[in-house]
Each structure stands twice: as structure tokens, then as C-alpha cells.
Amino acid sequence: DAGVTQSPTHLIKTRGQQVTLRCSPKSGHDTVSWYQQALGQGPQFIFQYYEEEERQRGNFPDRFSGHQFPNYSSELNVNALLLGDSALYLCASSPRGAKNIQYFGAGTRLSVL
Amino acid sequence: KNQVEQSPQSLIILEGKNCTLQCNYTVSPFSNLRWYKQDTGRGPVSLTIMTFSENTKSNGRYTATLDADTKQSSLHITASQLSDSASYICVVSGGGGGSYIPTFGRGTSLIVHP
């Protein structure tokens, strides 16, 4: 049984570009949450998806958007990249009815030059 | 504003020794508190989860305590091993109306030396 998988593992972009990160949840999980973790900091909640809709959102600008597909996988899109968007982006999945139980993927390391 | 403060920021101990990490929070209303272990460049892995009614939870050599009155938690690591070197993150979930937006601490970086 695969856990939470994220792709790509590393990504390098330049300012102003757009990026899409992908996440496949753990089998049996229907809820996906995205986090941004800057170096030396704790993860910051971006948003959460289930039933293909954004259900909760943290304090992030509209440049950050997402999508959830019928198979529960999810994408995180960031437009107009800034240097400050460089971070480890973590995806966490939760089982139906237990959103407090989160399993994290290994993350995507995004570097914006 | 919901906040989670962890101390110390970093800790160096010798292999075989015990240590205790602290977490203070101001999240309200409170739903649950979790401790995660995060190896460098990896995603966090859950160690323990405690709700309001629980004041202690063990997972092998890891024992977490929770005092919901003082809004404090601790993570005690017994007989440390080199593989315990990692960042330990305290996460508190709360919010009203069924919201589970978690608040993460900045973590305690633990280094275990042989």
C-alpha cells in the first residue's frame, strides 16, 4: 500500500513563472491538505480539499490555487512565483471522517531563482 | 491569534540519554495536539495524537503529556538513539464550526551524538 506520493521531488523555477505540484493520497483517504514549509520553519497550512472542493484555506494569496480530482489526487498551482515562494511543499492526506489524522508525503522542494 | 511555541529551539544530547521537549499553545477552541518527527528534507511522521481528555500517550520510547488547563505539552524521549536526530514538531488543531486548521510550531531540532 503506497503512502502519500508527491511529484516532482525537486523543482527549479524563475520569478514570474507558474508551477504545478502533484499529490496522490494514501489509499482510502479522500482529504488532501497542502502546506508550505520554509527552511527552519514549521509547515504553514495553505488549503484543504475534499469532495473536489476547497474546504478550508490558510493565509495565502490567490496566487496559490488547487484542484482535487475524482480519484482524490490533488494539484497545487502557484502563479507569478516570487523568491519567497521557495520552500518545501508538503501534501497530507486524511481518511474520510478523520481529518485530524494526517499522513504526509515527502514533499516537493521548490527553488525560485 | 493561534500560536504554538516550542522550546528549546535546538538540543544536543549524547546517545542513551533522555530528553524532554516543550510545547505551549494558545489555540482555542482546542481539538487535538500531535507530535511529529521530521527528518531533514522529508515529510513529518506522526508520533502521538492527544485529545482534550487525554493527558499522556506513549509510542515506544516516545511519551507525550498534555495539560489542557495550562495549554502545555511535552515530548519525552527515553534512551535516545542516533536515529532520533530530527526536528520534532508540535501541532495543535482547533477552530470552531468543525474547522480543523492546524497550527504548527517551528520545531525543536534534536541532535544525538554517539
Is the CB of residue A103 less than 8 Å away from at least one CB of chain B?
Answer: yes
Contact status, residue A111 vs residue A82, Cβ threshold 8 Å: no
B9 pairs with which residues across the strands?
Answer: none
Contact B104 A44 (CB under 8 A): yes
Burial B99-112 (b: 16+ CB within 10 A, else e): ebbbbbbbbbbbeb
Contact A102 B105 (CB under 8 A): no
Grid cell 492527544 in the structure block, residue: B50
CA A66 to chain centre: 8
SS3 category, A2 = coil
Contact A107 B43 (CB under 8 A): yes
Contact status, residue B3 vs residue B25, Cβ threshold 8 Å: yes
Chain A hits for B45, CB-CB cut-off 8 Å, are 104
A84 burial class (0-12, 13-18, 19+ CB within 10 angstroms)? exposed
Instruction: Output the tens digit of pLDDT for each of chain A's 113 residues.
Output: 569 999 999 999 999 999 999 999 999 999 999 999 998 888 999 999 999 999 989 899 999 999 999 999 999 999 999 999 999 999 999 987 777 778 899 999 999 99
